[in-house]
Structure 1
Amino acid sequence: MKNSKYKILVLSDLNKTTSTTIKSSVSLAQMIDADIELFHVKKHIDIVNRDNQLSAIRTLNDEQITTKKKIEALINPISKAYNVTISYSYAFGKIKEEIRNQIALSKPDIIVLGQRDSNPLQLIGDSITRFILKNFKGVIMISSNENALIPNEKMSLGVFNDSNKIFNTEFSKDLILHAKAPLKSFKIINSQKETVKIAGEKDEKIIAYVFEQNADAMDTLSSYLLKNNINLLCVDRDEDKSKNTGEASLREVVSKLNVSLLVSEA
């Protein structure tokens, strides 16, 4: 039996965008040679809200059957289409506690979260996203429906504000191998404090886009990312740097850029 190099854990609430999130996870797994596991957790109180113990047990059993069927209906067509095995598990209980337990059990190298479909701004108040960013020290992919990763296809890869931590990982060479050339760099600067570095020979395969730091910079950047069909944007997890330099914080990047993000290790 083949042992993959890495493990991807997809956390999902099984909403309408889950299929896209799973496909993006499959695409990433193909690039870096990873196993995929989907984990779903639901609040126990949302399922069992009855005084009658027998009725509560019956309801819980019915919910387990329904959840299993729903997960299999999502992953089976994708598994068949791309010839990939996707394992899954689910739990009922306290959401953050169950997620923490699953991370400890699964020991993933990468966690994948789906971006909220209704409004990207909701991510800034998304307690699960913040919980994972705070408690999981490995690489995190926040999958968007805009320009999503597609299995068996090369992606357009970008970096934000000279992000380089991702390229220090063991799988970075595999990632770059599956990226279209040229690599694209997007940077927001304060022109009064910074100068734009002129690309040297080693950077000749990089196209740089530089934006002036102002109130609309993130909105402008988001528009450029979509126009350039960026499938994945690499972002460093460096909150301390943003505090000291005035650069966009990770939370601002996550909440305002409607593109899939690959967040570096802590």
Structure 2
Amino acid sequence: MKHNKYKILVLSDLSKSSDTILKTTANLAKMIGGDINLLHVKKPVEVIKTDNQLSSLRVFNRDYLERKNHIETIVKSVDKQLHINYDIVYGSVKHEIETYIQNINPDIIVLGKKRFNALKLIGDNLTKFILKKYKGTVLIASNKSVLEYNENLSLGILNDFEQLSNSDLTKTLMDLTQKPIKAFKIKKSTNLSSQNKKDVTSNKTVEYVFEPNSNVLNNLSNYLLKSNVGLLCINKNSVNTKSNKGLYTNINLDGVIKRLNVSLLLTA
């Protein structure tokens, strides 16, 4: 059992959805007991447009104050009583983030969900970088909806129900919510219906089974939205390969992140 507070690191680009992502993080911190650090990294070349050293210093100072005020405005809009530590760093984004992670050793890293461009097919490089470098829990927060707090939390679990329900973090969330927990499975079924519903484990849990076909993630995404699931818990190691067998046929972590339009808690 974890006794100390969770250390939560939010990586923010200060985009329009930053307040939504921070509100979700704040609600998660209240539910599990967590301290929040926010990190914003900016490339110097995106700020400085001149070679004059004195002029560059003025530009940096002005840019820093603008970003500082922006962050403080977001923090106040989230919760005036909530204390959030934040840092603004100029440098190589990936290098500065990796160094910061090593220094504070967070339990959870929070990222915003990037929009998937079907034409470019390039994905989100920062998300891939974090998932490769960081072995802990990652929350990919929805840009559109705020995670509900306490008993209002609508929680889903994708496969690995027994393993995930025994982890400290997931168990804490399961104990808080008063809504039925939705356990989703992707596996071959003798039922001809695309989804099969039944009660499992307790009266707080309902299981939904989806056939592993080419449309399974789209079908699952539509059902998550229709059933108002606010947070889907996934063991990221179980879907972290390009070719998956058994329960995870036809899906991988990259596809899950792109296609499922709810907040995702990717546990180690």
Question: Is the Cα–Cα contact under 8 Å of residues 163 and 235 in structure 1 kept in the other structure?
Answer: no
Task: Kindly provide the CA deviation profile for residues 39-98 of structure 1, in whole angstroms up to 9, marking residues without a partner as x.
Answer: 111111111132222211111111111110111111123231xx3211111101000001
- In 2, the alpha carbon distance for the partners of 1:107 and 1:202 equals 35
Deviation at 1:123, TM superposition (A): 9.2
> Counterpart in 2 of 1:221?
220
Question: Is the Cα–Cα contact under 8 Å of residues 149 and 232 in structure 1 kept in the other structure?
Answer: yes
Are 1:255 and 2:254 matched, yes or no? no
Task: Kindly provide the CA deviation profile for residues 14-57 of structure 1, in whole angstroms up to 9, marking residues without a partner as x.
Answer: 00001010010011101110011111111111111322222111
Are 1:244 and 2:245 matched, yes or no? yes
TM-score (norm 1): 0.87
Output aligned runs, 1:24-103, within 5 Å.
24-80=24-80, 83-103=81-101
- Bigger relative contact order, structure 1 or 2 (CA pairs below 8 A, ≥6 apart): 1
- In 2, the alpha carbon distance for the partners of 1:173 and 1:191 equals 28
Letter in 2 for 1:138: G
Question: Is the Cα–Cα contact under 8 Å of residues 150 and 176 in structure 2 kept in the other structure?
Answer: no
- In 2, the alpha carbon distance for the partners of 1:123 and 1:40 equals 26
Q: Which moved more, 1:21-30 or 1:4-13?
A: 4-13
> Counterpart in 2 of 1:179?
177
Which of 134, 140, 143 is residue 142 of structure 1 equivalent to?
140
TM-score (norm 2): 0.87
Q: Secondary structure at the match of 1:171?
A: helix
| Structure 1 residues 199 and 152: CA distance shift in structure 2, 3 A | closer
- In 2, the alpha carbon distance for the partners of 1:170 and 1:154 equals 20
Which of 130, 133, 137 is residue 131 of structure 2 equivalent to?
133
Letter in 1 for 2:82: V
Task: Kindly provide the CA deviation profile for residues 95-116 of structure 1, in whole angstroms up to 9, marking residues without a partner as x.
Answer: 0001011111221100010112
Output aligned runs, 1:88-127, within 5 Å.
88-116=86-114, 118-119=115-116, 125-127=123-125
Q: Secondary structure at the match of 1:145?
A: coil
Q: Structure 2, unaligned stretches of length 5 or more?
A: none
> Counterpart in 2 of 1:208?
207
- In 1, the alpha carbon distance for the partners of 2:64 and 2:125 equals 25
Q: Secondary structure at the match of 1:191?
A: coil
Task: Kindly provide the CA deviation profile for residues 134-168 of structure 1, in whole angstroms up to 9, marking residues without a partner as x.
Answer: 11111110001344303466200001123554434
Task: Kindly provide the CA deviation profile for residues 180-213 of structure 1, in whole angstroms up to 9, marking residues without a partner as x.
Answer: 3311011222337xxx999687344321111212
Q: Secondary structure at the match of 2:201?
A: helix
Q: How many residues in Structure 1 have an aligned counterpart in Structure 2?
A: 257
Identity, in percent, stands at: 41
Deviation at 1:178, TM superposition (A): 1.9
Deviation at 1:175, TM superposition (A): 1.2
Question: Is the Cα–Cα contact under 8 Å of residues 234 and 261 in structure 1 kept in the other structure?
Answer: yes
Question: Is the Cα–Cα contact under 8 Å of residues 241 and 247 in structure 1 kept in the other structure?
Answer: no
Task: Kindly provide the CA deviation profile for residues 212-244 of structure 1, in whole angstroms up to 9, marking residues without a partner as x.
Answer: 122211111101000110010011112249533
Deviation at 1:11, TM superposition (A): 0.5
- In 2, the alpha carbon distance for the partners of 1:12 and 1:78 equals 14
- In 2, the alpha carbon distance for the partners of 1:234 and 1:160 equals 6
- In 2, the alpha carbon distance for the partners of 1:203 and 1:123 equals 42
Question: Is the Cα–Cα contact under 8 Å of residues 9 and 110 in structure 1 kept in the other structure?
Answer: yes
Question: Is the Cα–Cα contact under 8 Å of residues 153 and 179 in structure 2 kept in the other structure?
Answer: no
- In 2, the alpha carbon distance for the partners of 1:93 and 1:164 equals 43
> Counterpart in 1 of 2:18?
18
Question: Is the Cα–Cα contact under 8 Å of residues 26 and 151 in structure 1 kept in the other structure?
Answer: no
Q: Structure 1, unaligned stretches of length 5 or more?
A: none
Question: Is the Cα–Cα contact under 8 Å of residues 199 and 206 in structure 2 kept in the other structure?
Answer: no
Question: Is the Cα–Cα contact under 8 Å of residues 162 and 185 in structure 1 kept in the other structure?
Answer: no
